[in-house]
Every structure is written in structure tokens, then in C-alpha cells.
Structure 1
């Protein structure tokens, strides 16, 4: 099986890349750098695609050109993300908002479109879009307050983009799954001060989240295309109980 991880060098993407490669899959991983990560950091055999920066339109051409002649991808996981924190008193930040939208919700549409038309995604392929429970309007509750506008809104936009892609790709037999992988102990969440919630919020390591996500992707079929799920359930979603009630199942079908 062949797997393409977009955003493969850090956090969840790195853990996915390592675990898929260790399982013997053909793994392509993208990096924004012009060079591959240190060989000691990843298993042998990962095929690196360089200079893929999702804030730049040319990244899509770079990705498609680098994969030209490759066998179709069985599973595409778009894991790249960026989180710039915002609050109302200090105000939103234009450049950071644009970066979040481009990375989370603009680039994935172009990537999927290009790979389908290049014959690199076909019937039976699976597309997994890494979203967040932060993108659920229903789960936004007054107890959490406002702020972080572009992070939340770009994930909500990704959810819509994923739903629309699923409708366009259904007749082609390509599954599109929109996923909240879990609240993770990463440099990204630490960088916006969320590390203070790691213990109380049930945050898991990227390796744990990756294992759950791989199991989820293996079982995916057209019955779940275009849907929004938390494979690890409600355990790390702070507003789940107050909004959705008690005794919630795992995996959890999330509300838009």
C-alpha cells in the first residue's frame, strides 16, 4: 500500500510517516525544506518530496511533478497545519490568518484536485483531512469563550471543503474522511500556550494519535465518506458532554 503524508516532518505527520514506513508501506512525505530530514529521525525508505509549502500555490505543482510516474496513492493524509493564537483585545493578525486559511482549507482542495486529475488518486483511494473539533460550530460553547478566529474558522472551512470534495469524488469511488485526531502534546499546541491544558484535557502524544488514525483509515469505506469523526471519541473534547450529553460513543460522529 502507498501512503502520502502532506506535512510529514513534525507532530502527527511525523508519527504517521514513521509508523506507516515501519509497517512496510511505500511512504511519500512532504517537507517545506529543500532537503530531507535527518536520516536518523525517520525509517529508511521514506520518499521525500521537497519544497512543498502549502501557503504557496506552486506547492501543488511541485507535489504533482514529484509524484509523476508513481503508482496511484492508496491513502492521502493531509496533516500540515499552523496555529497562530488570537484574542479580541490584541486583535486578529492579518498575515497569520491568511497563513492559517491557506494551509488548512485552501491548499487541501487544490492538492486533491490535482492528484485526482493526474491519476494519482483513483477508485478505492482514501483521502483523510486532518481537521479539529475546533472546527465544529455546534461544539463551540460560551465556557470556552472566543478568540483564535482563524484557527477555528479555517478548520470549519476545511470541514465544508471536505464535504464538497466527497460529493464530487463519490462517483469515482474515492473516500474523503474529515477527522479530529485528538488533542496532542505537540510543539504547535505548546506554542500557543495549550500545554497548560495537556493533563486536564487528556492530551495524547502524536504517536498515540497516529495509531488511532491509522486504524481508522484502514477501516474506511464509502459508508463514511464526507463525514466528520473523532476516532478517539470525546475524551479530549472539552465541550462534548455539555453540548452533546453523557455516555458518548467512541469513535464519535462529530456535529458540524
Structure 2
């Protein structure tokens, strides 16, 4: 595994992954939605103006690519989430969530496959959330956030379908829940967040460890790489937490 492409790498999980992989000696290609960071890090090759919610994202990445260079691992971290209640729905925000989370990735991956950048042996990791699991929805977890849950559920379906279409090409696809992340404020401090929420660096370390074991045997599957500790409904749906494995394959 030499070449890593991380879509959505300017902050949070993507930022941590890019820096950890670069520090480990990997060649990292990282995208930014707007301009690239002003203080580039050795080993990270930035591609700016990549908006996954636009059909052109995959073509723009391909235009920056060297034809002989294969993507060994593609990690899609780009995300958009807006809180909602049934009493306060927002059409624009819901549409944007679906475009960013579930529609854009399909077009991006297709363009990279067509360009010969994703090919036999490549692995695709779609960063989703346990929020997308229909089976894990339970009264103990509440409701609301229709666009957030719905777009993640759509990503699960997208990932499953892509795994079937790309299996004969030797490309593995999986969806992962990396755990809830503590948010960094403008002063550079991390908020406490929900119970069991972790800093992006911790989640990135867990995801990298899982990716090291990811191959065609897990293609089309949905995994919680840090286990079920931060999944509020896990015990009600799956049983006692102490009996659940880490990493944990999640139900759809």
C-alpha cells in the first residue's frame, strides 16, 4: 500500500489520516474543497477546488493524476450534516446532504475507475455512520435528523451496490463508522462532545489499523472500526456491549 487518496482532508478525520499516512512514509493525495493549505506537509500532495457534491469532482482529480499511478486506498471523508427536527425541516440542507454523502461518491468513483486510477487491488473506504443503519434505529436513540440519517442510509446502499459492480474488477468497497468525533473550536481546543467521542487522531489511528486488514473478504460490508461503545442503541438492538466485538460488523 503506497498511494492513498483522501477526499475531504482539510480538517477532522481526513486531516488526521493525511498526516498520519504521510508520517508513515505513504504517498498521500489529499483534496480540499477550496484552496489548499498554505503550509503544506512533506508527503502530502494537495488537489484544490474538489467539491464532492459536484459531478466534476472525479474528472478534476483525474486531471491532476499521473496515469501510471494507481490508488491503493481511496478514503472518502467529505461530509455535510445539518440538524433537523420534524417541526423544522430544510429542503436545501437535506438535498445538500444527499448530494454530498450519497450521490457525489458514486460519480467520483466512476470517474476514477474510468480513468484507470482505481483498478484491480484498489480498496475504497466510504466513511459513513451508524446513523445510516435502519436496524440500529430504536426509541432509545430518538428520531429527527431525517437528512442526516437518510443520506447515511443511502450511502450504505451505494457502498453495497458499488461493491457488487466493482468486485469483478478486483476493487474492494466497504463502509465504516469511525466513532463520533470531538469538534475543534476556533481556538484550536477540542470540545468534550458526546460520551465516548474521540479526537480525530484517535479515530484515524483505529481506521488505519482496520484498513490494514481490509481486503475482498470484507467488500460490501459495514463496520464500526472502534466497536459499539459510542452507539447509543447498540445494547438495545445487539445485546450486552461486553459481548460485542471490536471492530464490529454492523447490521444494515
What range is the shorter-chain TM-score in?
A: over 0.9
Q: Find 1:230's aligned residue among 224, 232, 237.
A: 224
Q: Which residue of 2 aligns with 1:86?
A: 84
Structure 2 residue 105 is matched with structure 1 residue 108: yes
Q: Which residue of 2 aligns with 1:55?
A: 53
Q: Find 1:250's aligned residue among 232, 246, 252.
A: 246
Q: Which has the higher helix share?
A: 1
Q: Aligned-pair distance for 1:146?
A: 1.5
Q: Aligned-pair distance for 1:70?
A: 5.1
Q: Which residue of 2 aligns with 1:23?
A: 24
Alignment of 1:42-191 (within 5 A): 43-69=41-67, 71-90=69-88, 92-187=89-184
Q: Aligned-pair distance for 1:197?
A: 4.8
What's the secondary structure of 2:4's corresponding residue?
strand
Q: Aligned-pair distance for 1:196?
A: 6.9
Q: Aligned-pair distance for 1:69?
A: 2.7
Q: Which residue of 2 aligns with 1:217?
A: 211
Residues 116-147 of structure 1 show CA distances to partners (whole Å, capped at 9, x for unaligned) of: 11110111110000000000011111122211
Residues 132 and 181, structure 1, Cα contact 8 Å, conserved in 2: yes
Once residues 38 and 197 of structure 1 are traced to their aligned partners in structure 2, the CA distance between those partners, rounded to angstroms, is 29
What's the secondary structure of 1:15's corresponding residue?
helix
Q: Which residue of 1 aligns with 2:188?
A: none
Q: Aligned-pair distance for 1:80?
A: 0.3
What's the secondary structure of 1:172's corresponding residue?
coil
RMSD of equivalent CA atoms: 1.4
TM-score normalized with structure 1 length: 0.92
Residues 16-48 of structure 1 show CA distances to partners (whole Å, capped at 9, x for unaligned) of: 000001111010000011x32131xx5213111
Residues 52 and 108, structure 2, Cα contact 8 Å, conserved in 1: no
Unaligned 5+ residue runs, structure 2? 186-190
Q: Aligned-pair distance for 1:244?
A: 0.5
Q: Which residue of 1 aligns with 2:36?
A: 36
Unaligned 5+ residue runs, structure 1? 189-194
Q: Aligned-pair distance for 1:68?
A: 4.5
In structure 2, the CA distance between the partners of 1:77 and 1:62, relative to structure 1 (3 Å rule), is same
What's the secondary structure of 1:255's corresponding residue?
coil
In structure 2, the CA distance between the partners of 1:70 and 1:29, relative to structure 1 (3 Å rule), is farther
Question: Hey, which bits of structure 1, 4+ residues long, moved more than 4 A?
Answer: none
Once residues 212 and 53 of structure 1 are traced to their aligned partners in structure 2, the CA distance between those partners, rounded to angstroms, is 26
Q: Aligned-pair distance for 1:60?
A: 2.5
Once residues 101 and 145 of structure 1 are traced to their aligned partners in structure 2, the CA distance between those partners, rounded to angstroms, is 21
TM-score normalized with structure 2 length: 0.93
Residues 164-197 of structure 1 show CA distances to partners (whole Å, capped at 9, x for unaligned) of: 0000111111110110011111259xxxxxx675
Q: Aligned-pair distance for 1:110?
A: 0.8
Q: Which residue of 2 aligns with 1:192?
A: none
